[in-house]
């Protein structure tokens, strides 16, 4: 059971100010406490259930009839629920304070036990994938309840060409806690412990607060924050290079043993998306850099009265923008109103998040940076984490993460194995929730200046979601390709980073000395290689979906909720067909990119 990654779209979530009482998580729906009898009971049950499952089924899958195989799958699913519940509780507690050694130990001990308990289950996927195709098809034809799991089986069997011997698979499973998981923890704890001395600030700041200054109205504060980030990253750059070298090499070794064609293959398989679809997305975005990011940032430089932007100007507020703090109650109302205007059901699904302790919003010492929505397990409910600091962009982050939460609640009806949505589709409801909120605000804009501010903010968000994430993807592709030929020095990695930054941001920028190390703090490169293209996929998908909605596609809301309820039970082609969309069409991505270009057209027209 892996935990979600903080959302990377913005370098910072917000600014300070008085924004009311922020909610904290109430994790008791998972377990009342770490020493609760329910936790001890479930841990004991899991150990027994895993051993019993292996004793009943190992070596026997090929002899099971349809009813017996269905019973086997359901047992496996229940084990997944209990393991997921335990790790959700341990992981969410840890993310609340990654510097608390007790929480770190509790999570690590839970992970160790679950890894040990579930090692006997490794046989299941391997043996299932050895079932004869005709035999399995026959079983599915006999039993509709078993056939419902076919999308899960298809994803499992997509790994058939790449699976190793049973013994090697068990070894990899066993050693995972001291492999990538250990390096992930080292990265997380190092990041959470970094403190930055920013010129002009009274005390040292953590990463979240320092990144937040990059959106300050005061340019000198933004510069001071950028230079403080560069100074601290440089001091730790050997450690970060070691983390990336080790993880990339570990991945290369496993991919080589599995005979994966390239480093991206495993991600595409887990996303249930064809490599050519991702390649078409990547190529469309890169080709659009000149008409999107290059053009917008030249416009922004003009607004700011600068010949060239510096990196600390990238997410700076516009000079026409009146700095304002959005208190929590107002943010809640803005998002809920937008959701409710689209469909009352959507607001009803979002309401419990605010009322039942499903959101942890405040910035606290040791808390993980960024934002995420974690689905936990289908028998409980999702939890949303924010670092809310009162900026308008934080309202969009709230809309985004609530979209994930609504999606996860709706998909839970599919059950544990079928509810999980591939990353490429997991961003659909979140980005759509942002778009609904943005459109509501845009419709209510009272002055041209307010409309310009909203449009510019949305363009920057979309550039961060599409252009920046594809640049991140290209950086990862280059890094893994380079690591395959030998150890990379910090300077090597820095050079790869700067090559994609210059290409994606364009000629409006100068880059300060020190910016070359800013790859170091992006958690996705460490936790989940090649994850980032899912953000661009989701944005392009939502732009096309929203265009269908705006054009008055009949029964759009019903079709939209059906799509979310499907979870991971359908391929992207089947999910998008009711909307007349097809992500495998290379021209599909141009629709979404054209929406961004259209917003920039409108901004340019305001200059005339």
Q: What are phi and psi of 359, to 5 degrees?
A: -125, 135
- Tell me the pLDDT tens digit for each residue of 169-200: 888 888 777 788 889 989 988 998 999 999 99
Residue 305 lies in a domain: no
pLDDT at residue 592 in the model = 86
CB-based contacts of 177, cutoff 8 Å, min separation 6 = 108, 111, 112, 115
Residue 173 lies in a domain: yes
Domain with 117, as residue range(s), is 27-178
Residue 81 lies in a domain: yes
pLDDT at residue 323 in the model = 66
Number of independent structural domains in the chain: 1
- Tell me the pLDDT tens digit for each residue of 288-337: 999 999 999 999 999 999 999 999 999 998 877 666 788 999 999 999 99
Judge contact between 542 and 342, C-beta under 8 A: no
Domain with residue 157: its CATH number is: 1.20.140.70
Residue 311 lies in a domain: no
Q: Round the average pLDDT of the chain to a whole number and report it.
A: 92
Residue 146 lies in a domain: yes
Rounded CA separation 216/212 (Å): 7
Judge contact between 473 and 530, C-beta under 8 A: yes
Residue 547 lies in a domain: no
Rounded CA separation 9/397 (Å): 9
Sheet holding 359-360, edge to edge: 359-360, 383-385, 372-374
Q: Cα torsion for 278, 283, 284, 290, to the nearest 10°?
A: 140
Residue 86 lies in a domain: yes
Report the 10 Å Cβ neighbour count for 585: 12
Residue 240 lies in a domain: no
Task: Quickly state the pLDDT bin for 470 (edges 50, 70, 90).
Answer: very high
- 467-483 and 490-505 helices, crossing angle to 10°: 150
| pTM exceeding 0.85 | no
Report the 10 Å Cβ neighbour count for 383: 27
User: 99: which DSSP letter?
Assistant: T
- Tell me the pLDDT tens digit for each residue of 234-252: 999 999 999 999 999 999 9
């Amino acid at each position: 059971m892996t935990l979600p990654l903080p959302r990377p779209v913005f370098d910072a979530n917000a600014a300070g100010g008085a924004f009311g009482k922020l909610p904290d998580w109430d994790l008791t729906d998972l377990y009342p406490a770490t020493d609760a009898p329910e936790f001890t009971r479930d841990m004991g049950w899991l150990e027994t259930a895993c051993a019993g499952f292996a004793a009943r089924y190992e070596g026997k899958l090929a002899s099971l009839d349809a009813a017996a195989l269905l019973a086997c799958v359901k047992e496996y699913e229940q084990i997944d629920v209990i393991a997921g519940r335990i790790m959700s509780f341990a992981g969410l507690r840890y993310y609340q304070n990654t510097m608390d050694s007790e929480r770190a130990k509790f999570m690590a001990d839970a992970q160790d036990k679950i890894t040990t308990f579930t090692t006997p289950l490794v046989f299941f996927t391997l043996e299932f994938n050895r079932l004869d195709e005709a035999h399995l098809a026959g079983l599915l034809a006999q039993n509709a309840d078993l056939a419902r799991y076919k999308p899960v089986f298809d994803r499992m069997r997509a790994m058939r060409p790449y699976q190793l011997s049973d013994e090697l698979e068990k070894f990899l499973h066993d050693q995972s806690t001291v492999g990538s998981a250990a390096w992930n923890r080292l990265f997380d704890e190092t990041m959470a412990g970094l403190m930055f001395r920013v010129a002009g600030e009274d005390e040292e700041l953590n990463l979240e607060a320092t990144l937040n200054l990059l959106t300050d109205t005061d340019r000198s504060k933004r510069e001071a924050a950028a230079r403080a980030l560069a100074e601290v990253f440089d001091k730790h750059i050997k450690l970060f290079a070691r983390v990336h070298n080790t993880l990339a090499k570990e991945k290369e070794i496993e991919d080589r043993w599995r005979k994966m064609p390239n480093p991206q293959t495993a991600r595409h398989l887990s996303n249930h998306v064809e490599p050519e679809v991702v390649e078409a997305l990547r190529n469309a975005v890169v080709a659009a850099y000149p008409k999107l990011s290059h053009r917008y940032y030249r416009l922004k430089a003009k607004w700011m009265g600068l010949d060239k932007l510096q990196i600390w100007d990238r997410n700076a507020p516009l000079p026409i923008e009146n700095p304002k703090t959005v208190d929590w109650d107002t943010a809640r109302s803005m998002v809920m109103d937008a959701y409710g205007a689209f469909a009352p059901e959507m607001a009803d699904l979002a309401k419990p998040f605010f009322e039942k302790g499903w959101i942890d919003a405040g910035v606290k010492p040791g808390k993980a940076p960024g934002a995420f929505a974690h689905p936990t397990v289908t028998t409980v409910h999702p939890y949303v984490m924010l670092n809310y600091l009162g900026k308008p962009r934080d309202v969009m982050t709230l809309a985004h993460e609530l979209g994930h939460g609504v999606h996860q609640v709706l998909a839970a009806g599919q059950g544990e194995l079928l509810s999980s949505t591939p990353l490429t589709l997991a961003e659909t409801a979140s980005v759509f929730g942002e778009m609904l909120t943005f459109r509501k605000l845009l419709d209510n804009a009272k002055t041209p200046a307010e409309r310009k501010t909203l449009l510019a903010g949305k363009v920057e968000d979309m550039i961060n979601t599409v252009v920046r994430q594809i640049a991140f993807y290209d950086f990862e592709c280059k890094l893994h390709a380079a690591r395959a030929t030998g150890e990379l020095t910090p300077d090597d990695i820095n050079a790869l980073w700067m090559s994609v930054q210059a290409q994606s941001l364009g000629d409006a920028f100068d880059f300060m000395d020190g910016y070359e190390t800013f790859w170091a703090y992006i958690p996705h490169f460490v936790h989940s290689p090649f994850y980032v293209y899912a953000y661009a996929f989701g944005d392009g998908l939502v732009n096309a979906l929203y265009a269908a909605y705006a054009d008055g596609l009949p029964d759009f809301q019903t079709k939209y909720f059906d799509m979310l309820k499907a979870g991971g039970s359908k391929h992207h082609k089947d999910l998008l067909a009711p909307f007349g969309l097809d992500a495998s069409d290379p021209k599909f991505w141009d629709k979404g990119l054209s929406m961004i270009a259209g917003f920039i057209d409108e901004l340019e027209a305001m200059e005339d």
